[in-house]
Amino acid sequence: MEILFSFRSCSLQIFRHYLYCKIWEHHTMSSSNLVVKGCNMKKITNYILSVLLSGSLLSASLFYTAQTTSAASDKTTKEKTKITFMASGTGNYADVRKQSLEAQLLDDFPDIEIIVEAYPEEQYYSILNTRLSMGEGPDFFNIQPNWAGPNAVQKLAPAGYLEPLDDLAVIQNADEADTESVTWNGHTYSLNRFSMILCTYYNKSIFEKLGLSIPQNWAEFLNMCEKLKNAGITPVISGNKDSYALQFGLYQIAANQVYSENPDFNTQLADGTASFSDPGTWDKVIDQYLLLYKNNYVEAHSLTMSSAEAIRRFCNGEAAMLFSGNFNYSTLLNALGENLGAFPLPANDQDQPLCTVVSKGGGTAIYSGSQHIELCKKIFEKLYEPTNDTLSSEDEIWKVFHDLKEKGHFTINCNQGWKGDVEWALEDGVSRKIGGAAISVNYITSMMQTAYENG
């Protein structure tokens, strides 16, 4: 449209110049005041110009109308329903997740546009809860079972942020084990078919080079770390800038030092017969964990290293072990292949059985305030339809973990049984202690208890 007006403007100027030249030429030849049928030539010129200008505006109007109609037509044919998924993730997680969702959904839902938002875990919690409180939640978002974390079912469902899915066939036909931890007040809000396993990954090549075998108790683990350190190899790497990474080691120790001794510890927290401050429980867990830092068995700059950076450096052979879980298995397997191994962190005393952490993972929930509830429910059923895919948690590497679970030597992720912001108090206190803060372990456990009581 701008080009059209520019062309018209240029034409008017040329015509104006030509007309006045002719007028001047005729005027000099006749030496008379030029009048045509009683009209002054200047008026004729202005009239002609006004006609041309009107034509220009009409053409421009027609051009603009055609463009607008075309754009509106394109919008009508191309506009799709935007469905937003929010999750915690770093690196290229959003792109990978989007590709996966498109592969699962677009054949059945060609009229949707999938948008994936991913944030580091702490940011995810903050952004999600802010948007939910403002009535602007994403259509789908990740939730955790029971009380685990700020996006736990037991926290978000009572607030009215989760859409009940009881009417869906995929929920009605599901095993109770897949719905129990994502159910509140008789309503189910997701499915959690997949196991979450916490583990200690190790580089087989490094172990073989030094003649190391998998340790079976805490004393053996510390001895192995000392050998690695003496060989100039960092025993353990952990990206504690993302403070949730602290859980991966702490919970494995707790499985052996708290829950193996008292499987009902979380239940007793709820009825007031146990406390995080009880001697020989979480104080012992934290002491064992901090010993790894005191002995320089963990990468010295862990507090300034992200979880993604720790994973990258482990894959590059810069450390022998990494505290993590099966949620990072695919990434590590792609990088290390057959050199990747995993074992439960042996935080048990020499005369005690080894225990591990195996629990139900989280699931995907629908925001109760979504503008596309019925469409989202259809999408949910497609996402959770039965498949024949082999789960990564069923690979051979996880056999030892499942064997321990079958024997009853396991616990669920500790925070799944905690009210309040206990995990935040734990992460904050341990991070400060690693950083050199003059606080006691008893102070950390008392803060955990306070957080629980305020939950």
pLDDT tens, position by position, 276-315: 999 999 999 999 999 999 999 999 899 999 988 999 999 9
* Number of neighbours of residue 45 by Cβ within 10 angstroms: 15
Total residues belonging to the chain: 455
Asked if 322 and 230 count as a contact pair (C-beta separation under 8 A), the reply is no
Q: How confident is the model at residue 94 (pLDDT cuts 50, 70, 90)?
A: confident
Taking only the tens place, the pLDDT of each residue in 379-429 is 999 999 876 344 445 688 999 999 999 999 999 999 888 987 899 999 999
- CA 110, CA 112: separation in Å to the nearest integer? 6
What is the pLDDT averaged over residues 328-344? 93
Do the bridges between strand 319-325 and strand 234-237 make them parallel or antiparallel, or are there none, so unpaired?
parallel
Question: Token pair of 136, please?
Answer: 């602007």
Q: How confident is the model at residue 348 (pLDDT cuts 50, 70, 90)?
A: very high
pLDDT over 60 (residue 5): no
pLDDT over 90 (residue 90): no
pLDDT over 70 (residue 233): yes
Cα angle for residues 19, 13, 65 (degrees, 5° grid): 120
Question: Token pair of 233, please?
Answer: 């190899």
Percent of the chain with pLDDT over 70: 81
* Number of neighbours of residue 112 by Cβ within 10 angstroms: 20
Locate the DSSP E strands across 78-191: 81-88, 112-119, 140-143, 183-184, 187-188
Q: How confident is the model at residue 77 (pLDDT cuts 50, 70, 90)?
A: low
Asked if 445 and 286 count as a contact pair (C-beta separation under 8 A), the reply is yes
Lookup result for tokens 């024997």: 407
- CA 336, CA 451: separation in Å to the nearest integer? 40
Lowest mean pLDDT among 56-70, 82-96, 302-316: 56-70
pLDDT over 70 (residue 27): no
Cα angle for residues 209, 214, 216 (degrees, 5° grid): 150
Single-letter amino acid, residue 49:
L
Asked if 364 and 142 count as a contact pair (C-beta separation under 8 A), the reply is yes
What is the pLDDT averaged over residues 123-142? 93
